């Protein structure tokens, strides 16, 4: 078998049908930033709000995926590329069934993030930069990783021994050291409202 022997099957129910069923569009909301910048916390806070309003969501979390789909990957640049490639492909599968994906990944490389953007239709990818000075992330150090990284016990640690490329043109930059979780979550929701993702059919026809 070769790759070009593989035939594509178009499923019975496409994205548009799921979006009509759900009453909103699907999209990838991609939270990027240093470890400890609040990506996962923010993604969960946004999901809680969206769920409460009846939206279909799912969380893809970098740490969680590394326990499953990406358990075979390390933290070299190459492994990080593959990690984000897989995360993007999975996010696309959720978008295909009308779901708003809240993805929280350090995703240090601009090119990887742009590759995910290219997987979904234009306007379906929102990059949220959780911007927080590394000193603040290090003070929080919820996982104790900075402490160990400073002592050389953790290799390839983003911001210390591995690079982080800031987003070039994010949909939103949130200073998570200056604003609380409530305010940040509301900013994301407002951005999604403004972009039309959360529009329900009755609002479209009104």
Task: Show which residues are catalytic.
Answer: 107
* Contacts with its own copies, residue ranges (CB under 8 A): 1-3, 5-9, 11-13, 17, 21, 40, 44-45, 47-48, 51, 57-61, 63-64, 66-69, 71-72, 74-75, 82, 86, 89-90, 92-94, 96-97, 99, 104, 119, 142-143, 145, 148, 154-157
Least spacing, CB of residue 102 vs its own copies, in Å? 9
Least spacing, CB of residue 20 vs its own copies, in Å? 11
Least spacing, CB of residue 8 vs its own copies, in Å? 6
Q: What is the 3-state secondary structure (H, E, C) of the chain?
A: CCHHHCCCCCCCCCHHHHHHHHCCCCEEEEEECCCCCCHHHHHHHHHHHHHHCCCCEEEEEHHHHCCCCCCCCCCCHHHHHHHHHHHHHHHHHHHHCCCEEEEECCCCCHHHHHHHHCCCCCCCEEEEEEECCHHHHHHHCCCCHHHHHHCCCCCCCECCCECCCCCCCCCEEEECCCCCHHHHHHHHHHHHHHHCCCCCHHHHHC
- In the complex with its own copies, the residue whose CB is nearer, 119 or 200, is 119
- In the complex with its own copies, the residue whose CB is nearer, 67 or 135, is 67
């Amino acid at each position: 078998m070769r790759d070009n022997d593989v035939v594509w099957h178009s499923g019975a129910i496409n994205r548009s049908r799921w979006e009509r069923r759900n009453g909103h569009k699907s999209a990838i909301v991609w939270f990027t930033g240093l470890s400890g910048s609040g990506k996962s916390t923010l993604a969960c806070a946004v999901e809680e709000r969206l769920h409460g309003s009846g939206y279909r969501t799912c969380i893809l979390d970098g740490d969680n995926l590394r326990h499953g789909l990406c358990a075979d990957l390390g933290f070299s640049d190459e492994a990080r590329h593959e990690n984000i490639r897989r995360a993007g492909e999975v996010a696309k599968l959720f978008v295909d069934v009308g779901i708003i994906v809240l993805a929280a990944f350090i995703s240090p490389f601009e090119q990887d993030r742009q590759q995910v953007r290219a997987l979904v239709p234009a306007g379906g990818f929102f990059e949220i930069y959780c911007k927080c000075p590394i000193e603040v992330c290090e003070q929080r150090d919820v996982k104790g990783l900075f402490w160990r990284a400073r002592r050389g016990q953790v290799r390839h640690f983003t911001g210390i021994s591995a690079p982080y490329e800031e987003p070039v043109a994010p949909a939103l930059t949130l200073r998570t050291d200056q604003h609380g979780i409530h305010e940040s979550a509301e900013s994301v929701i407002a951005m999604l409202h403004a972009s039309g993702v959360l529009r329900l059919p009755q609002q479209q026809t009104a």
